[in-house]
Amino acid sequence: MRWADFLADRSARRWLRGVAGRLGPGWQALAADPSLSRAVNRHEAAVADAVRCEQDVVPRQDPVSRLVLLAGHAHDVWTEAERTGWQPPLDSASWSEREWTGLRLLACLRLAAAEPHGPKLPRAAEVARDPSPRTGEQVNNRREFFG
């Protein structure tokens, strides 16, 4: 990795960590509400498609990492939303499936965190990633697998 690539990735990680911190109530809501988790999964698929299209379609002299593209997508979403007066909901009860901007940003952050050298997310985000308790189907599948 060249130094410019390193700096771009570092800048992307730093900006994403700042956004992740401002969305604390969203992470808590995501951990508590399975319907929000499904909505974020849909956003993740859309973001992944958008980033893939940008990689394939937008010509660049020097390629950029997927992390930088994810940060760019999140930055565009944040900037446009802020321009229209959007602010992240301040408490977890205010998050719903209609909170398009916040859920899109959470999706960008989860995808970025999965990248090599991606940003570390807040503790609440880790809880949102591993919903508990396990569903009956998952438990039954584990019993069948392990005997």
Cα-only R_g, the chain: 17
Tell me how far apart the alpha carbons of residues 139 and 6 are, in angstroms, rounded to a whole number.
43
Q: 3: pLDDT confidence band, cut at 50, 70 and 90?
A: low
Residues 6 or more apart whose CB falls under 8 angstroms from that of 32 comprise 92
Tell me how far apart the alpha carbons of residues 117 and 97 are, in angstroms, rounded to a whole number.
30
**60 or 57, which is more confident?**
57
**92 or 145, which is more confident?**
92
For residue 133, pLDDT over 70 is answered with no
Q: What predicted TM-score, i.e. pTM, was given to this entire model?
A: 0.81
Asked whether the bond before 133 is cis by omega within 30 degrees of 0, the reply is: yes
For residue 140, pLDDT over 50 is answered with no
Tell me how far apart the alpha carbons of residues 100 and 64 are, in angstroms, rounded to a whole number.
27
For residue 90, pLDDT over 90 is answered with yes
The arithmetic mean of pLDDT across residues 128-143, rounded, is 39
* pLDDT tens digit sequence for 7-57: 888 999 999 999 999 999 999 999 999 999 999 999 999 999 999 998 888
Give CA separation, 72 vs 19, 49, 75, 140, in Å: 12, 14, 5, 42
What DSSP line would sit under 46-89, residue for residue? HHHHHHHHHHHHS--SS---HHHHHHHHHHHHHHHHHHTT----
Residue of 145, 29, 135, 13 lying closest to 75 (CA atoms): 13
In this prediction, what percent of the chain has a pLDDT beyond 70?
83
